[in-house]
Structures are given as C-alpha cells and as structure tokens.
C-alpha cells in the first residue's frame, strides 16, 4: 500500500503512546473483535507499551476458531460421501472435530481440496459433473459476498452439482451476546476494519446505544491500533459511547452497498451456533428459498451424534475473553501448533497461536 510506512512510524507511535498514558486515568478493558488485530497487537508489542490500567482482551475474531465442533462434524460426514468433493479454505483442515478432522479424512482417502476462493470451487464443479462439490462457507461478513456471488453464478450457469454448507457468522450480534452474557466486563470495542468495510460502521450503533459501550473501527498497522486505543480512552474518560472510524482509508459509515445488496439478495439471517458462545439469534446466514437447491443441508443427511469437546480445552472461554491461553491446562503442554487440540491454536489468527508465537 502506498505510504504504508507512515502507519509504522516509530516517532508518531511514541507520541500516541504518550497521549494514551497522559489521558488514561481509570482501569479499562478493551476487546479487539478481530484475529488480525490480535496478531498485530502481539507482533508489534502493543500490550507492552500501554499503561497498566489498560487491558486488551482478545475476542471471537477468528472465523475458523468460532466454527463450532458440530459444524466440523457435519463437514467430516459430508467428506465421507463417495461421490463428494469437499472444497475449503486451508485453515479449516486441521480443526479437530469430535473424533476426526478434515485433514485426517483426506489422509484416509476423502477427496478434500484446499481452494483460495469460492470461484475455484465453482470451477471444480464444472470440471467434475459426475461429482457433487460442496464448499464449506466459513467466515464473517468479509467473505459472505463472494459466496453469494458464487451461488448466483451457479444459478445463472445451470451448475447443478455445486453446494454450499453456509457456516457464516455475523460480528455485531456476537458483540451483543458478549455484553449480555454477564461473565465479562468490556468497556470498549476495537472493531474489525475488513468486516466493517462491508457492513459499515453504522452496524455498531445498536451496541453503543443499548449498552453504552464505545466502538472504534481500526486498521491493522501499529499506528492504526494505537490511535484506536487512544480514541477509545478519550471517549471513556469523557463518559461517551459513540461509533468512531479510525480506519477512514478503508471504512465508511454506510459500508459497501453493492456487497450488502448481494448478501441480502441471496441470504436470510438465521440463528447459528458459535464455539464458546452457543446459539446467537440472527447471527448467521442461510440461503433464501429460491437458492435452496445449492444448500448442502437440503441435499445431504447431516444428522450427527452430539458433538464432543476435547477434555480440558478452553477455546470456548478464550474466545469469550474470560481466560487467556496461559490459563488453559493444555496450552504449550499437549496443545501446540504441531499438535493443536483446539481451533484457537490452528489458525494464524487464533489467540492461542498468537500467544504461542509471540509471548515468551
């Protein structure tokens, strides 16, 4: 990106840090709801330069991590169908289900292919008309428009062997679920830049109005994050609760109207399950009636036994920000990047992976 260095300027960062120290008088807890923010915070040592009264909490900002075990189990069951090709993003391969993972199923002979976009899955379906191709649609609002576009393409091209298991999660309902849960004190939210580029900063207004919690949409460079923290500190010290945009070069209040229009055209909102948070009302997507021919759950038997979590794994609590990875009895012992017990250690955006890599 042009002028990227200005968002990594050491002297500018120091000035913002000094302002944070000068302005922050009371104890505050800020949650970043974005895995990319979590990694950037660790990589740039941002926690180490903040005053001791400011705590940064990692929330459910990793799409792979919040995918529930039962959803992994359904994907594994699909992979065992004799005429099915599973297409998925790479991070999902190693996430443990109740008894297996997609990586293990592939090793056992299942046709599971890592793709870089849903367009790749469409091509695979076109090239393999004798097979049924299922795309595992995980992610937040950032990836949902591309999957909606793929469904429209399959409809237009008459591709009958393409299906989507829609596992998308929507960020604002999860933020409200965290605030209403009662087991965590959050004073302010650092909101994800890429998600908000789609849905617009106005999506967080209900959070500020119902819970009197300030929200600042931040970019991903060190200056972005420090400035967002300073903006939150200023609001909290003044007793305000507003939605502000730090990441103005990528985000507007209105969002991407074309992307939102295509999502509204293809999807209805539905209740969906989150790892660690349970079922959250209207926090997911399902295909509208006119596109149900592409819904994997309508074309396959996805009934599964009750999902089982690995004993001792605290990924659910970590995603809620109730505990840190260091408090999990498995962290660094039996759970590490080479042998992940839970999804927070699998994804590069997972909190456990970030702690393992950057925290001594």
Do residues 345 and 294 both lie within one domain?
Answer: no
Do residues 267 and 335 both lie within one domain?
Answer: no
- Given this model, what pLDDT does residue 2 score? 52
Do residues 323 and 223 both lie within one domain?
Answer: no
Q: Tell me the per-residue pLDDT of 306-350, one tens digit each, with 9 for 90 and over.
A: 999 999 999 999 999 999 999 999 999 999 999 999 999 999 899
Whether 125 is covered by a domain: the verdict is: no
Do residues 322 and 228 both lie within one domain?
Answer: no
pLDDT lower than 50: segments of the chain:
1
Whether 22 is covered by a domain: the verdict is: yes
Whether 336 is covered by a domain: the verdict is: yes
Do residues 165 and 250 both lie within one domain?
Answer: yes
For the chain, give the secondary structure using H, E and C. Answer: CCCHHHHHCHHHHHHHHHHHHHHCCCCEEEEECCHHHHHHHHHCCHHHHCCCCEEEEECCCCHHHHCCHHHHHHHHHHHCCCCEEEEECHHHHHCCCCCCCHHHHHHCCCCEEECCCHHHHHHHHHHCCCCEEEEEECCCCCCHHHHHHHHHHHHHHCCCCEEEEECCECHHHHHHHHHHHCCCCCCEEEEEHHHHHHHCHHHHHHHHHHHCCCEEEECCCHHHHHHHHHHHHHHHHCCCCCEEECCCCCCCCCCCHHHHHHHHHHEEEEEEEECCCEEEEEEEEEECHHHHHHEHHHHCCCCCCCCCCCCCCCHHHHHHCCCCHHHCCCECCCEECCECCCHHHCCCCCHHHHHHHHCC
Whether 124 is covered by a domain: the verdict is: no
Whether 72 is covered by a domain: the verdict is: no
Do residues 326 and 293 both lie within one domain?
Answer: no
Supply the pTM of this predicted model: 0.93
Q: Tell me the per-residue pLDDT of 178-194, one tens digit each, with 9 for 90 and over.
A: 999 877 899 999 999 99
Do residues 242 and 294 both lie within one domain?
Answer: yes
- Given this model, what pLDDT does residue 348 score? 87
Do residues 186 and 291 both lie within one domain?
Answer: yes
Whether 209 is covered by a domain: the verdict is: yes
Whether 241 is covered by a domain: the verdict is: yes
Which residues constitute the domain of residue 18?
1-67+138-299
Whether 118 is covered by a domain: the verdict is: no
How many structural domains compose the chain?
2
């Amino acid at each position: 990106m042009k002028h990227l260095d200005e968002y990594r300027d050491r002297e500018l960062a120091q000035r913002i840090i000094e302002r944070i120290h000068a302005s922050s008088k009371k104890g505050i807890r800020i949650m970043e709801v974005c895995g990319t923010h979590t990694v950037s915070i660790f990589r740039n040592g941002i926690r180490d330069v903040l005053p001791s009264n400011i705590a940064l909490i990692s929330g459910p900002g990793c799409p792979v991590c919040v995918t529930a075990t039962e959803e992994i189990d359904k994907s594994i069951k699909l992979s065992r169908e004799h005429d099915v090709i599973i297409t998925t993003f790479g991070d999902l391969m190693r996430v443990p289900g109740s008894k297996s993972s997609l990586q293990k199923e592939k090793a056992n002979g299942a046709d599971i292919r890592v793709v870089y976009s849903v367009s790749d899955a469409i091509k695979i379906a076109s090239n393999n008309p004798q097979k049924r191709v299922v795309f595992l649609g995980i992610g937040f609002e950032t990836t949902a428009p591309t999957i909606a576009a793929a469904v429209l393409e399959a409809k237009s091209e008459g591709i009958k062997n393409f299906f989507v298991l829609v596992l998308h999660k929507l960020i604002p309902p999860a933020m409200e679920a965290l605030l209403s849960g009662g087991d965590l004190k959050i004073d302010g939210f650092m909101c994800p830049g890429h998600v908000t580029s789609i849905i617009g900063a106005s999506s967080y207004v209900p959070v500020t109005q119902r819970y009197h919690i300030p929200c600042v949409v931040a970019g991903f460079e060190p200056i972005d994050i420090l400035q967002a923290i300073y903006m939150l500190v200023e609001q909290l010290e003044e007793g305000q609760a507003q939605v502000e945009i730090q990441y103005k070069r990528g985000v507007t209040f209105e969002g991407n109207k074309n992307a939102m229009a295509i999502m509204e055209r293809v999807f209805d909102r539905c209740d969906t399950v989150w790892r660690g948070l349970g079922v959250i009302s209207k926090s997911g997507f399902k295909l509208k009636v006119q596109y149900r021919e592409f819904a994997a759950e309508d074309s396959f038997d996805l009934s599964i036994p009750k999902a089982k979590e690995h004993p001792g794994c605290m990924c659910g609590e970590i995603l809620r920000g109730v505990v840190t990875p260091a408090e999990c009895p498995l962290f660094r012992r039996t759970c590490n990047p080479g042998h992940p017990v839970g999804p927070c250690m699998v994804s590069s955006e997972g909190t456990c992976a970030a702690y393992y890599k950057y925290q001594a």
